[in-house]
Amino acid sequence: MGQGHVHSGHPAAGASDRRWLSAALAVVLVFMAGEVVAGLLAHSLALLADAGHMLTDAAALLVAIVASRLAERPARGKYTYGFSRVDALSGQANGITLLLLAAWIGYEAIRRIWDTPPVHGGVVAVVAGIGIVVNVLATSLAGRADRSSLNVRGVLAHLVTDAWAFAATLAAGLVIVGTGWRPADSVASLVVAALMVHAGVGLVRDAGRIFLEAAPAGVDPHALGDDLAAAEGVAEIHDLHVWVLGSRHAAMSAHVLVDAPYDCHAVAETLRLRLADRYGIDHVTLQVDHATASVHDAENCADAHGAVHVAPGMNEPI
């Protein structure tokens, strides 16, 4: 009987990533303060909605900076996998925040359609135009960080959504200036809310896949098991589990039965190389045994989890 385990580290966003995120945070905070003042003076819900969204941008950037530091901490004590899922926690928090803020903005926008206060369209248009430039700058800075991180993707989702929101607000300001139709401000706010919902649902869904230990995107566990069972020397594979450890890497474990003429360690190494080359999975734990009746009838194989994958040409498990 043999057991093997191998993995290689995937470093979290490093100090250089945090510098880019910090620069984006500074840009967002400075503009957000000015936008709140402009929104209050112009009586514009769209500007205040954008400012609220920028507040979530700032919070997302701050959490991303802290989470990247935590994710670098090594596995120790009771945290045997380390803190890689802090990244997913941050992404989920960003998504939930977007959804809650979208609900409030949507409610206020609908209420204001029938009771719109005087809105200064010129101020709205000018501030929104500046906001587009500022947001593009912040997105460019944050985009230099590691995009494989769900945390960073959450930040970028906030910023990109905000860029579209500013575009909608700019259009609303121009409509008010050109036609005097004040409800355009509320319509722009509804567009902002819809964009927030779209981004928020995606973040919550992706974080949920990590917490529920789903297979990595693009990996079919059944097809993976069949592929491994087709390797030379493999008789059967069962108790196969493949899951997402964090947004940057996945893990896989299985019980492998090897035909008697083959060496267990050599077959296990072949499987590890196949997993790394074809699926990008290199955090692998394999229990490898020779395929004998006594092993197959052992208690730990009596109720295998999931499908049993046998070598091609074999109709039933050993």
What CATH number does residue 158 fall under?
A: 1.20.1510.10
Asked if 229 and 205 sit in the same domain, the reply is no
- Strands 250-258 and 283-290: what pairing? parallel
What residues contact 280, with CB distance under 8 A and at least 6 apart? 216, 250
Asked if 202 and 290 sit in the same domain, the reply is no
How confident is residue 50, by pLDDT bands cut at 50, 70 and 90? confident
Asked if 123 and 258 sit in the same domain, the reply is no
Asked if 195 and 233 sit in the same domain, the reply is no
Quick check: 178 and 53 in contact, CB under 8 A? no
Task: Give the residue, 113 or 3, on which the prediction is more confident.
Answer: 113
Asked if 66 and 164 sit in the same domain, the reply is yes
Task: Of 92-101, 207-216, 241-250, give the lowest mean pLDDT range.
Answer: 241-250
Distance CA 127, CA 134 (A): 10
Asked if 100 and 175 sit in the same domain, the reply is yes
Q: With pLDDT > 70 as the criterion, what percentage of the chain qualifies?
A: 86
Distance CA 26, CA 92 (A): 23
Total count of domains within the chain: 2
Task: Give the residue, 178 or 293, on which the prediction is more confident.
Answer: 178
Domain stops at, among 177, 211, 245: 211
Q: Is residue 9 predicted with pLDDT exceeding 50?
A: no
Q: Is residue 318 predicted with pLDDT exceeding 50?
A: no
How large is the average pLDDT for residues 260-273? 93
Asked if 184 and 266 sit in the same domain, the reply is no
Q: Which domain, by its residues, includes 240?
A: 221-310
Q: In what order do the strands lie in the sheet with 2-6?
A: 2-6, 283-290, 250-258, 234-244, 309-310
Asked if 187 and 238 sit in the same domain, the reply is no
> What burial class does residue 181 get, using C-beta atoms within 10 Å of its C-beta: 0-12 exposed, 13-18 middle, 19+ buried?
middle
Residue 11: predicted pLDDT: 44
How confident is residue 222, by pLDDT bands cut at 50, 70 and 90? very high
Domain stops at, among 174, 189, 211: 211
Domain stops at, among 211, 242, 277: 211
Q: Is residue 80 predicted with pLDDT exceeding 90?
A: no
Structure-token pair, residue 294:
């006594």
When mean pLDDT is compared over 63-72, 200-209, 304-313, the highest value belongs to 200-209
